Amino acid sequence: MTHNFHKLTIAELQPEIDGAATTVVFDVPQHLAEAFRWQAGQHLTLRLLIGGVEHRRSYTISNPPGARLRITVKRVKKGVVSNHIGDMMAKGDSVEVMPPFGGFLLTPGPLARRTHFFFGAGSGITPLFAMINTVLKDEPHSVAHLIYGNATAKSTLFKDELDALEHEYPGRFSLRHVQSALSMWSWYRPWRKGRVDADVIQAALSEVPPIAQDVQYWICGPGSMNADVKAALMAQDVPTDRIHMENFGGITEQDTSVEGCSATAQITLNGTTHQLPIAAGQTLLEAMRAAELSPPFSCQSGVCGACRAVVTNGEVHMRNRAALEDSDIARGEVLTCQSVPIVNELKVQFT
């Protein structure tokens, strides 16, 4: 995995759901094909200069591996980057893009025989959409069930594409829409009204009990949805090692209750070890950049996982840990963009 940016050309740019989102397809030149190979669920980081200021954003790749490199960017109210992409960019533009990465991924197995349950809401569908496609195409003995929450049918990303999948793979893919705001004017009725909550989850699990017994649960939604779905699954005895999730959309709240102290850190990056000071309140990433090292990073908000490293000595507080699973943390992994020291000496290792 390299963390260098490469210039890619936009091959296609298209508004979705009445302009509330933008789909961007990139051309990947032959010499970058290897570097830009991805797995379903991974992200792409864009670096844009907007009004003289550098912005980095991570977006999930919404196509399965082997298809065209595509992201779907939902507009955020007053969002600098999402609106810039929707309003200012066009086919033929060149954008700086970092090769795909991310640990929320589904690796298909041609002989794997699994039942995948996907719980998504809003733009959280993007990684799930790639995963569902990869299951249907590259894991032929497995099935996928999607439980998909949205406000209305109109605001539902990939609605037509998902319908098409249901027709193309009867018996292997099922789709359940859950909508919170039903339109009076539409004949359309979703599977359930409301949100993807405990009742909805229980109903789905008993409607389609698994045939293939290697069952995996994938969750991607905004705000507290992930934690809620996980809790509901665990209440049904689903073991945690079968639950995979990624926070999406609204950045999860930061835990700033711990201030962090000043410290000296020994940091091993690209095989070289550096000794550097960290000021109180400074994150490891900020300290490294201040010391003019070039550590990997992307979203700077704890979501993408690009900045992860292992603390081999000492302890840190993480303000946000959305990009890490419990098992990562057990291994000592931290997000350097979110970590402040709580002891005076640290050893940190990038892998």
Q: Which is nearer to other proteins, 210 or 223 (CB)?
A: 210
| Binding status of residue 170 toward other proteins by CB under 8 A | no
Reading the block at residue 56, the tokens are 């980095």
**What's the farthest any 2 CA atoms get from each other in the chain?**
65
| Binding status of residue 30 toward other proteins by CB under 8 A | no
Q: CB 308 → ligand FES: shortest distance, Å? A: 7
Q: Are the CB atoms for 102 and 131 separated by under 8 Å?
A: no
Selection from other proteins, ligand FES, none that 297 binds (CB < 5 to 8 A by kind) is ligand FES
**Burial classification of residue 185, based on how many CB atoms lie within 10 Å of its CB (0-12 exposed, 13-18 middle, 19 or more buried):** exposed
Measure Cα distances from 64 to 49, 70, 129, 323 in Å.
Answer: 29, 9, 8, 21
Full strand arrangement of the beta sheet holding 243-248: 192-193, 173-179, 143-150, 114-121, 214-222, 243-248
Residues 199 to 218: which contact other proteins by CB under 8 A? 205-206, 209-215
All residues at 6 or more sequence positions from 287 whose CB lies less than 8 Å from its CB, including other chains: 265, 276, 277, 278, 279
Selection from other proteins, ligand FES, none that 300 binds (CB < 5 to 8 A by kind) is ligand FES
Length, in residues, of the chain: 351
| Binding status of residue 124 toward ligand FES by CB under 6 A | no
Q: Which of 260, 298, 311, 334 binds ligand FES (CB under 6 A)?
A: 298
Selection from ligand FES, other proteins, none that 257 binds (CB < 5 to 8 A by kind) is none
Query: Quick one: DSSP state of residue 253?
Result: P
| Binding status of residue 304 toward ligand FES by CB under 6 A | yes
Q: Which is nearer to other proteins, 139 or 325 (CB)?
A: 139
Which residues of this chain interact with ligand FES, rule CB under 6 A?
Answer: 297-300, 302-307, 323, 335, 337
Which residues of this chain interact with other proteins, rule CB under 8 A?
Answer: 109, 111-113, 141, 205-206, 209-215, 233, 236-239
